[in-house]
Amino acid sequence: MYTCANCNILACASEIREQLPTNCPMRNTQTVQELFKEYKKDCNSRFYITSSSIEASGYCQWPRLKETIEFCRSMGYQRIGIAFCKGLKKEAKIVSDLFRTHHFQVVSIICKAGGISKEIVGIPEECKIHPNEFEAMCNPIAQAHFLNEQNSEFNIAIGLCVGHDSLFYKYSQAPVTTLVAKDRVLAHNPCGAIYCAEGYFKTKLL
């Protein structure tokens, strides 16, 4: 079992190879070499080099939103897809307008697309936010479909629910980046709970 999160050697980030942990994935040299070939493929090479170049260009200067714009510009994308949560509609509009200002075409699809009641998909009343009232289900598969239909070249996820985002990634034909990770409690900053995991949030994460 690999346990990189608990490693204190980090030989992967240096040229030192003598002290690899016994369970280090880098010991699988043949696998690493085979996987490296994937970066040489036409479908991956420019994409990876561009993203790494953007990392260097805006390092500790650009917020993620700026990085996303510059990445899309450098890749030559013209049509951008936005899949967003109803609760972040204001934020989605700001992002959409900003991309248009930078001369991109923008297609945006809200999570409630379809207007299908939650119980129809099998969600029990007690698992609804407001039982016995109409609640439209989140529809990430439809979001992906409609963006695919519109031939988006690169998709941006804004605040999709945990799990719903996974289905969106699964069905999206275009590459996806997450601009906003939903966290209703921490103003969409999930790292807040991580930073406080040994302090204020210690009991709340149990």
Total Cβ atoms within 10 A of residue 159 = 24
Please write the tens of the pLDDT for every residue from 85-129: 999 999 999 999 999 999 999 999 999 999 999 999 999 999 999
Q: Which residues of the chain have pLDDT under 50?
A: none
Q: b/e for 32-70, b at 16 or more Cβ within 10 A?
A: eeeeeeeeeeeeeeebeebeeebeeeeeeeeeeeebbbb
Q: Which pLDDT does position 17 carry in this prediction?
A: 82
Q: Which pLDDT does position 15 carry in this prediction?
A: 82
Minimal CA–CA distance to 155: which of 89, 87, 97, 79? Answer: 79
CA distance 51 to 53: 5
Which amino acid is residue 35, in one-letter code? L
**How many CA atoms are closer than 13 Å to the CA of 176, on its beta-carbon side?**
23
Q: 189 and 63 in contact (C-beta within 8 Å)?
A: no
Token match 């799990």: residue?
163
Strands (E), the chain: 79-84, 105-110, 154-158, 176-180
pTM of the model: 0.95
Q: 111 and 92 in contact (C-beta within 8 Å)?
A: no
Strands (E), 67-130: 79-84, 105-110
Q: 42 and 59 in contact (C-beta within 8 Å)?
A: no
| SS3 assignment, position 188 | coil
CA distance 126 to 44: 45
